[in-house]
Amino acid sequence: MIALREDRRLPLQALAWAWPMVRERGGAVGGIVALSFLASAAALLPPYLTQRLVDDGIVGGRGDVVLQLCGAFLVLLVAGVVVEAVSRLAYLKLSAHVLFGLREQVYRHLQTLAPTYYARTRGGEILSRLDGDVAEVQRFAIDAPMGLLNAVFSLVVALVLMLSLSPLLTALVFALVPLHVAALLLSRPWLERSTHAVRQQSAAMSSFFVESLRAMKFIQATNAAPRQEAGLRAHHGDYFAALRRSQLASLGAGGVQRILSGLGVLLVFAVGGSMAAAGELSVGVVVAFIAYTTRAAGPLQTAAGVFMGWQRAKVSLERIREIAAERPTVTSPAHPLALAQPVRGGIRLDAVTFGYGDAVVLDGASLDIVAGAKFALVGASGVGKSTLIDLLQRHYDPAAGRILLDGLRLDLLELAELRRQVVVVDQDPVLMPGSVRDNLRFVAPDADDVALLRALSLAGLANFAHAGGLDKPVGASASALSRGERLRIALARAILQDPAVLILDETTSGLDLPVAQAIVAAVDRVFAGRTRIVITHNLASVGDVDRVVELRDGGLLVQSPVRAVAPLLRVV
Handedness of CA 265, 266, 271, 277 (dihedral sign): positive
Give the residue extent of every domain in the chain: 10-324, 347-559
pLDDT band with cut points at 50, 70 and 90 for residue 465: low
pLDDT band with cut points at 50, 70 and 90 for residue 559: low
Query: How far is it, in rounded angstroms, from Cα 345 to Cα 390?
Result: 16
Question: Residue 205's CB: how many other CB atoms inside 10 A?
Answer: 17
Query: How far is it, in rounded angstroms, from Cα 396 to Cα 394?
Result: 5
φ, ψ of residue 543 to 5 degrees: the values are 75, -160
**In DSSP terms, which residues pair with 424 in a beta bridge?**
503
Average pLDDT over residues 547-560: 80
CA nearest neighbour of 132 among 200, 188, 191: 200
| Whether 361 contacts 567, CB under 8 Å | no
CATH of domain 10-324: 1.20.1560.10
Cite the DSSP H helix spans in 215-224. Answer: 216-221
Handedness of CA 323, 396, 520, 460 (dihedral sign): positive
> Mean pLDDT score of the chain, rounded to an integer?
80
DSSP letter for each residue of 509-525 = TTS-HHHHHHHHHHHHH
Average pLDDT over residues 481-503: 90
pTM of the complete model: 0.70
Report pLDDT for 494.
93
The domain at 347-559 falls in which architecture?
3-Layer(aba) Sandwich (3.40)
- The string of pLDDT tens digits covering residues 6-17 is 445 555 566 667
Asked if pLDDT for residue 307 goes beyond 80, the answer is no
- The string of pLDDT tens digits covering residues 28-54 is 778 888 887 787 777 777 776 777 777
Which has the higher per-residue pLDDT, 407 or 116? Answer: 407
Q: Is 217 left (phi over 0), alpha (psi -120 to 50) or beta?
A: alpha
Quick check: do 10-324 and 347-559 share a fold?
A: no
Query: In whole angstroms, how far apart are CA 429 and each of 444, 469, 486, 505?
Result: 17, 18, 7, 10
Average pLDDT over residues 514-520: 83
Query: How far is it, in rounded angstroms, from Cα 486 to Cα 479?
Result: 9
Question: Residue 439's CB: how many other CB atoms inside 10 A?
Answer: 24
CA atoms in the 13 A half-sphere facing the CB of 465: 18
Query: How far is it, in rounded angstroms, from Cα 549 to Cα 566?
Result: 10
- The string of pLDDT tens digits covering residues 238-264 is 888 888 888 887 777 777 777 877 777
- Amino acid (1-letter code) at residue 107: Y
Helix, strand, coil share of the chain (percent; to 5): 65, 10, 25
Question: Residue 563's CB: how many other CB atoms inside 10 A?
Answer: 8
CA nearest neighbour of 494 among 432, 410, 426: 426
Average pLDDT over residues 340-366: 91
Query: Which residues make Cβ contacts (< 8 Å) with residue 292, sequence separation at least 6?
Result: 44, 47, 158, 161, 162, 165
